[in-house]
Structure 1
């Protein structure tokens, strides 16, 4: 028991190095947005996602989880997937919208903060196979992906369509993070187990597919992922309704199948 407490209080270099890289990428994205290098800022947010996905898996594989690492990871995520995407998209497109622009950015920041706080409070209490609400890295990828796609294709901000599209996407991402829609987490996939050969071919195919046009492909993939939770939620609601209706029908049939005949009154 003392060894376990000591392990929980320890600071491990390898997983926290990835967390620091995640934090640096988020900070770098903000700096690049201030310098109006928006494509570089968006790419930095995607790099933060890569580092964030590695720190937790490395900690689990090496058995170096710690309470310090959990809190440090949450603070880094707030920077990289909360503040950075909101500031990048605000400076890029939403400044011209006046108060609506910074309000949309604030809705996103609040959604990310609430999402991370709820995740920390519910550790060990929810299904590990699904996230409750859109995870903050995916929300950041949704916002940053739109910035990257628009800058890469030189979409004009002067017609007002792109700024309002950024506004809508930013608000949606903020609201989706605090929703109860289930989004697949991927945590049940074990990196240490053996896989068939065709899985490696699929991985290679995914890399080739993404590298063909990273802004378009990544944005499209995260659009699909951001909608998948609502599709699963609607499917669960419909299944629950069908099950409830079936139970009511069975209950009604059982009441009609009871003994019948003249009542035996005294």
Structure 2
């Protein structure tokens, strides 16, 4: 007798509708296939809990839960690759989690904190941000299948990535904890800022991803890296909102530099292609 739940098939049914082993039902699933999915589900729980905390006006905890959701979302994929537990099911779960954690949750937290004072304009801004995040994630999934782009372009995102968008759009909340009163004028400005972040998500702006840094670190840079990480975490724990605000401003300042890097590499690639053609 079959149980109340369908069998878990990490990569879906086979070509003829059979399970992944083609001849018999897959009875035992290795834990390495389940662990990344558990982390993804926990990330969704954190994002939705952030929304609930925002509705309860516990905004500091709400922001921390959204940031925790972003952290867990970044961990699940790396865990899957580390334990060799990647699957089609996990990829679909991760995509669905991203729209909740980076689109819906930040938009609702921000609306509950300040955008509601801008009335309909604030809701439109929150709505457009959530939709832009969904469009950004859909475009990312499609572009992953593009094998024709030059190799150097793989070091850049097209548009601001969704996790960074959630990090950026919550800047008005950080500033609110630093003493800025959320009145109608501030809410209107925040709505315009939210629309700007939504535009950055769906734009063609090249954003350096850091993938070219590699997995190895020069020996001379190990100690400074450890000290830098410890310093940042200590600042984040001690001066949370100041550190988050400065981090957002630093990221926004980095975007023009990223565009400049892209243009230089594109010019070098075009010159090399022209020389090869000659």
TM-score, scaled to structure 2: 0.76
Q: Distance in 2 between matches of 1:241 and 1:32?
A: 49
Does 1:228 find its partner at 2:263?
A: no
| Count of residues in correspondence between the two structures | 240
Q: How does 1:11-160 map to 2 (within 5 A)?
A: 12-125=33-146, 127-150=153-176, 152-158=177-183, 160=184
Label 1:18 to 1:195 Cα distance change in 2 as closer, same or farther (>3 A). farther
- Offset of residue 179 of structure 1: 0.8
- Offset of residue 155 of structure 1: 2.0
- Offset of residue 21 of structure 1: 1.4
1:174 corresponds in structure 2 to: 198
Contact 2:10 2:89 in 1 (8 A): no
- Offset of residue 131 of structure 1: 1.3
Bigger Cα displacement from structure 2, 209-218 vs 104-113 = 209-218
Bigger Cα displacement from structure 2, 178-187 vs 59-68 = 178-187
Contact 2:43 2:101 in 1 (8 A): yes
Bigger Cα displacement from structure 2, 204-213 vs 57-66 = 204-213
Contact 1:138 1:222 in 2 (8 A): no
Q: CA RMSD in A?
A: 2.9
Label 1:64 to 1:242 Cα distance change in 2 as closer, same or farther (>3 A). closer
Contact 1:133 1:183 in 2 (8 A): yes
1:249 corresponds in structure 2 to: none
Give the unaligned 5+ runs of structure 2.
1-8, 13-28, 272-278
Q: Distance in 2 between matches of 1:94 and 1:27?
A: 19
Give the secondary structure class of the aligned counterpart of 2:207: strand
Q: Distance in 2 between matches of 1:230 and 1:106?
A: 27
Contact 1:112 1:136 in 2 (8 A): yes
Q: Distance in 2 between matches of 1:117 and 1:51?
A: 20
Q: With CA pairs under 8 Å and 6+ residues apart, which has the higher RCO, 1 or 2?
A: 1
Larger Rg belongs to: 1
